[in-house]
């Protein structure tokens, strides 16, 4: 019997058959994997509580030829605060769905897992508004995947000063001269540019330690949502529900 111990978080859970569940887990060691939890829907199952999104801990797996099966689990954080707050839960589900979209099997999932974990924690803090948490998470996640926009110089000419226009199609910031040749550019404040620079360059531990003005929040939201949309070819169900309910 081949077993493996992995550290990870449940991104989603789907019922299979009468009593089982198929879990999608983001792990440090093996990236995103699918795991079958047999009997997880039975009321007396040891897997009942752990086979829910946000469950973080150590998972002992039986490794078959084409799939993993859950053998045992030690959950260290269920993120109960999110489960008790409907709005926070929908934000969290969106974060999990987006992580699922951008991660893959057989890759190092350490950074993405740490980002997701810290972002879920941030949703429970009153010191930072959730729309800001969302924008930070989105921008950092695409940066983790090597898709960050260029916000430290003009995308076209490389000028490192006098750039104040964001263009999603161009891939980042444009200076005053280059923006004339690119349609769809959006003028943003220096504070918003600095905020994006900080998010992309900072360690995960420092991401959720600041707040911004409403003007910066509005500009950041427009830039990040439009840019990340270039790399997503499906509707995020949890995001649609979030927008409808809140």
- Exposure b/e, 52-89, CB count within 10 A at least 16 = b: bbbbbbebebbeeeeebebbebebeebbebbeeeeebb
Provide the pLDDT confidence category of residue 193 given band limits of 50, 70 and 90: very high
**What's the rounded Cα separation, in Å, for the pair 29 and 23?**
16
**pLDDT (tens digit, 9 = 90+) per residue, 166-178?**
999 999 999 999 9
33-61: pLDDT as tens digits: 999 999 999 999 999 989 999 999 999 99
Question: What's the confidence (pLDDT) of residue 66?
Answer: 80
Instruction: Assign 67 a pLDDT band (cuts: 50, 70, 90).
Output: confident
pLDDT band for position 1 (cuts 50, 70, 90) = low
CATH superfamily of 81-153+159-245: Recombination protein O, C-terminal domain (1.20.1440.120)
CATH topology classification for 3-78: OB fold (Dihydrolipoamide Acetyltransferase, E2P) (2.40.50)
- Count the alpha carbons within 13 Å of 152 in the hemisphere toward its beta carbon: 6
For the full predicted model, state whether its pTM sits above 0.75.
Answer: yes
pLDDT of residue 65: 79
Proportion of the chain above pLDDT 90, given as a percent: 90
For 130-143, how does the pLDDT look when each residue is reduced to its tens digit (9 = 90+)?
A: 999 999 999 999 99
Phi, psi for residue 172 in degrees, rounded to 5 = 150, -140
For strands 163-167 and 186-187, give the pairing: antiparallel
Q: Do domains 3-78 and 81-153+159-245 have the same CATH topology?
A: no
Is residue 31 scored above 70 in pLDDT? Answer: yes
Q: What is the mean pLDDT of the chain?
A: 95
DSSP annotation of 150: B
- The three-state secondary structure class of 72 is strand
Between CA 183 and CA 236 the distance in angstroms is 27
Cα–Cα dist 246/241, whole Å: 8
State whether the Cα torsion 122-245-94-218 is positive or negative: negative
Q: What pLDDT score does 166 carry?
A: 98
Break the chain into its structural domains and give their ranges: 3-78, 81-153+159-245
């Amino acid at each position: 019997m081949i077993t493996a111990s992995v550290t990870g978080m449940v991104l989603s859970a789907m019922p299979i058959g009468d009593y089982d569940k198929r879990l999608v887990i983001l792990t440090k060691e093996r990236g995103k994997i699918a795991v079958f939890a047999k009997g997880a829907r039975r009321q007396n199952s040891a897997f009942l509580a752990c086979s829910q999104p946000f469950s973080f801990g150590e998972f002992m797996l039986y490794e078959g030829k084409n799939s993993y099966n859950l053998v045992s689990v030690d959950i260290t954080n269920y993120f109960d605060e999110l489960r008790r707050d409907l709005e926070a839960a929908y934000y969290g589900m969106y974060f999990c769905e987006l992580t699922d979209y951008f991660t893959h099997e057989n890759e190092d999932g350490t950074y993405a897992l740490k980002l997701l974990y810290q972002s879920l924690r941030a949703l429970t803090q009153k010191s930072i508004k959730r729309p800001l948490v969302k924008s930070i998470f989105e921008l950092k996640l695409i940066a983790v995947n090597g898709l960050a926009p260029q916000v430290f110089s003009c995308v076209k000419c490389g000028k490192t000063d006098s750039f104040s226009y964001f263009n999603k199609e161009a891939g980042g910031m444009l200076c005053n001269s280059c923006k004339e040749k690119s349609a769809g550019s959006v003028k943003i404040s220096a504070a918003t540019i600095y905020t994006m620079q900080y998010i992309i360059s900072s360690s995960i531990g420092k991401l959720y330690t600041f707040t911004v003005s409403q003007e910066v929040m509005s500009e950041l939201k427009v830039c990040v949502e439009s840019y990340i949309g270039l790399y997503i070819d499906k509707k995020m169900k949890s995001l649609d529900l979030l927008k409808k309910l809140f």
